[in-house]
A = this chain, B = another copy of it.
């Protein structure tokens, strides 16, 4: 792929990137420094200061707390790319200096083992997240280097990676292990791409290929530790860590969902970069299983809070759901890599689904509150009084003790420009995966092309492209491939070039327009948004007899604030007559959907009886649905995505 410069110029998304830049990044810096009143302390900076010998104290927070700082730095790097900010860069440089001070002579870097368990390094790969934290360090270092050109953090990461490269592998004097939480695998690919050094790619492939080999490293390691673990009891459950089978033999997504999708991301990278067909096929099988059988309509994955895990095919309960924010972010990472392996619209469809629904919904409008769990059905009283639902919060929380999700949202949204296009090396093929207003510059045939996309999604489906050329040639020949989203289902979208309808071939879900483009050419891509009722596969028991409302990429939900109680009593009428209207004042402005429904007429109910003969007495109501990503921004209330019909 050609390296390109993409700038987002889009009302909807600029609001978010502004929020990330102006609120989330500064807020999270305060959180990392334990300066947010009422929020769980992070301890992250403090741990580094103690490890660096600048402060006395105990290690605080989770064993993987270092990664929060790294993820924040990565988000900062992405943000600085589009919005230089010397003050912020200065703060980041200071944090990087601190990280350097905490690094050991030999390159080792992990504040937990430096402060709390010196001498126990590398004795608990199963649980201790050392390589996971190293992975986030590498990702931050690559991003910071690519944006600022400063190589200090990259040097720190390389020194640590050099140590890891010496220590891990199949040689007799090496540890033949891998991390309990995949992450370093995808990070090493980035380090390879940034430095061109093959050994990083080789190390990534080692971790991927070693995983799942027998005898199990984790079980042997656990026996060496005297059969003790930090969290789990008994023999390590290998499925949790996706090391129950060699990764090339895996076909079903199992275990901890974030671990899984981070691993699949690295597998897709390796399949592409090493042209590994076996690995590609494993990715495709796992993709099919994850997105066709274990994904919520919101792009959430992970059906149970116990182990934050996948459960099994078609098991997608809406109320005891997990659907962790980080898991959907990982799914987006993976989808992005699958698109690079092969441009198929279904990968971008999933990317868009997870982005506009699960991920956007995880953050409050003020950028200071987050969901870790993203439910599709909420009864606040159950969240506080039924322990089976304690993990489902009806309102976003200011910060979490285990705060993996907020910095992950920040780094995804601040790098969103990387998710929109792919341009082939020679510039002859330009794919548009997402319809987000933006400008991309690339080169083809000696000509500099600037492609501008104007989009009003998710509210309006008219997309306009314009082309500017500079350089010696008067025209540029390239194929523009436009994704046909899976939510557009009425034949083929209309495509106009310079105002004239154009027929086009479709390949892998992309409309293809190959021509010689001239400066000033325009292309119009019409994806009229229709509000639709969506059904779930009949195998998904939890959604049987129910429908969800979707308009374009946005899934909708009904909330108590608009529809009263109990929200479960509301069902769709036979003729729902859905209408849509702009509500400029609602939740910062959105399109609301209204429809005919019915609720049980409680006046027909014998007071205080739990059960009585069915009378089917209902009263008609006109319900109001709002985009799912906006739920829970008013008060704690009941919410529901799937409505009985």
Residues of A within 8 A of B (CB): 288, 291-293, 295, 297, 303-307, 311-312, 315, 317, 319-320, 379, 381-382, 385-388, 489, 532-542, 544-545, 547-548, 566, 568-569, 571, 599-600, 602, 605, 608-616, 644-645
Collect the chain B residues with CB atoms within 8 Å of residue A388's CB. Answer: 304-306, 317, 320, 388
Q: From known contacts A569-B544, A600-B544, infer whether A610 and B644 are also in contact, taking CB-CB under 8 Å.
A: no
A478 to B379, alpha carbons, bound, how many Å?
A: 53
Contact status B612-A535, CB under 8 Å: yes
A403 to chain B, nearest CB (A): 23
A59 to chain B, nearest CB (A): 22
Which residue of B306, B536, B539, B615 is within 8 Å of A535 (Cβ)?
A: B615
Which residue of B291, B385, B533 is within 8 Å of A312 (Cβ)?
A: B385
Identical chains in the assembly? 2
Collect the chain B residues with CB atoms within 8 Å of residue A599's CB. Answer: 538
Contact status A571-B545, CB under 8 Å: yes
Collect the chain B residues with CB atoms within 8 Å of residue A612's CB. Answer: 534-535
Contact status A386-B311, CB under 8 Å: yes
Collect the chain B residues with CB atoms within 8 Å of residue A534's CB. Answer: 611-614
Contact status B608-A288, CB under 8 Å: yes
Contact status B547-A568, CB under 8 Å: no
A8 to chain B, nearest CB (A): 28
Q: From known contacts A388-B320, A611-B297, A644-B545, infer whether A569 and B538 are also in contact, taking CB-CB under 8 Å.
A: yes
Given A315-B382, A536-B611, A537-B605: 9 more A-B contacts, CB < 8 Å: A292-B609, A311-B385, A315-B379, A315-B385, A379-B541, A541-B568, A544-B571, A616-B645, A644-B644
A479 to chain B, nearest CB (A): 28
A281 to B312, alpha carbons, bound, how many Å?
A: 49
* A/B interface sample: 29 pairs, CB < 8 A: A292-B608, A293-B610, A295-B610, A311-B382, A311-B386, A311-B387, A312-B381, A312-B382, A315-B381, A315-B382, A317-B386, A532-B614, A534-B612, A534-B613, A535-B613, A536-B611, A537-B605, A537-B609, A537-B610, A537-B611, A539-B566, A541-B566, A544-B571, A544-B644, A545-B545, A545-B568, A545-B644, A548-B611, A614-B645
Collect the chain B residues with CB atoms within 8 Å of residue A610's CB. Answer: 291-293, 295, 297, 536-537, 540
Instruction: Point out which of A305, A547, A610, A615 has the most chain B C-beta atoms below 10 A from its C-beta.
Output: A610
Q: Rank and list the top 8 A-B pairs by shortest CB-CB distance, nearest first.
A: A306-B387, A541-B568, A311-B386, A533-B614, A544-B568, A538-B600, A312-B385, A535-B614
Q: Which chain B residue shows the least CB distance to A307?
A: B387
Collect the chain B residues with CB atoms within 8 Å of residue A545's CB. Answer: 545, 568-569, 571, 644
Which residue of B291, B292, B315, B535 is within 8 Å of A386 (Cβ)?
A: B315
Collect the chain B residues with CB atoms within 8 Å of residue A385's CB. Answer: 311-312, 315
